[in-house]
Amino acid sequence: MADPSVPRDPLWLAHRYVESRDAVQFRHVTRDEHRAATFVIDQHLSDNPQLAEIDRRQALAAATAPGPLHFVFHSAFCCSTLLARVFDREGLAMGLKEPAILNDLVGWRRRGASGRDVAEVMDGALKLLARPFEPGEAVIIKPSNVANGLIRMMMALRPDARALLLYAPLPVFLTSVAKKGLDGRLWVRELFIGQRADGLVQRLGFTDEQFFGQTDLQIAAAGWLAQQALFAELVPLLGDRVRTLDSETLLDVPEQAVGALADLYGFRLNAAEIQALVAASFGKDSKTGKSFGRADREAEYAEAGSAHQDELAKVTEWARVTAEAAGIPLALPGALIA
């Protein structure tokens, strides 16, 4: 076995699943590197990584016991990275932003791996990701929304976990896609392909031929509706373990939202501690750390909305009619803030 101290040290992130050898690739990532990275993927980490590959079963046998684990699941462009950072405080919790190993399991499942095999490896991956950075700390994982098709599995494997289902209202989501130009439009089509493989878009009632004839923003809206339908189904299934929140409510009342989320996760924080967490995280671009307040965001979205006004209005109405026909709520039940 490679260095047995690696699975015992949470600074060695369980980074990738090597399915051909049933092994886990660990990557050394300090707490400061976690904070600086937009996501904990190769693209946003050091160009000279320290890596160690260990047989999966041996790694699990040597790993330290996991701490409390919770989730932020999301449908993109909804301040999820911000919330993954907000509880990052020594002695409280650490946020893991889109760990690549979960995407590896999504790809493995889509290539035909059995649900039982994926569940076994997922269970181990969650154990390794939940190693606390300090005694008593929780770990909050924000998976990529690519992994939303495996939410039920993750929550079933971790019956003590609590989760937030975070989403942007449809007009905000579509404007986010539009303002990112070609990259945004290509991204939603790639996401849609995965959602189709996961069986999530078929519930909308369109044939593949009909989807093929839809515009980029229609495909974006269809993908948003598919995720919205999934989230709506999870609320009654998971009961008190899950709550929903939209990005605009989060930005309107950040202290109330963070306080309610702390309660959901079981953190005992007083008003001053919540204020300090909000002050340290909000008012910045969550991906760059630069100053970026609510007024800056609204100005950016207004500019994009004006440039694509006709298309956005037509696709939003099309999505509203589609949602009504499919029985998909545009605002989710189970709100974090009543």
Instruction: Report the C-alpha gap between 199 and 195 in whole angstroms.
Output: 6
Question: pLDDT by residue (tens digit) across 4-35?
Answer: 899 999 999 999 999 999 999 999 999 999 99
pLDDT at 2 over 70: no
Number of neighbours of residue 301 by Cβ within 10 angstroms: 16
* pTM, to two decimals: 0.95
State the pLDDT confidence band at 307, using cuts at 50, 70 and 90. confident
State the pLDDT confidence band at 303, using cuts at 50, 70 and 90. confident
What pLDDT score was predicted for residue 304?
Answer: 75
**What value does the mean pLDDT take over residues 238-256?**
97
What pLDDT score was predicted for residue 184?
Answer: 95
Question: pLDDT by residue (tens digit) across 253-302?
Answer: 999 999 999 999 999 999 999 999 999 999 876 566 666 677 777 787 78
What pLDDT score was predicted for residue 306?
Answer: 82
Helices (H), the chain: 31-36, 56-62, 80-86, 100-110, 115-129, 151-157, 170-179, 181-197, 208-212, 216-238, 247-252, 254-265, 271-281, 294-307, 309-326
Number of neighbours of residue 297 by Cβ within 10 angstroms: 15
Question: pLDDT by residue (tens digit) across 38-74?
Answer: 999 999 998 899 999 999 999 999 999 999 999 999 9
Asked whether the beta carbons of 15 and 103 are under 8 A apart, the reply is no
pLDDT at 1 over 90: no
Instruction: Report the C-alpha gap between 337 and 253 in whole angstroms.
Output: 10
Instruction: Report the C-alpha gap between 26 and 332 in whole angstroms.
Output: 37
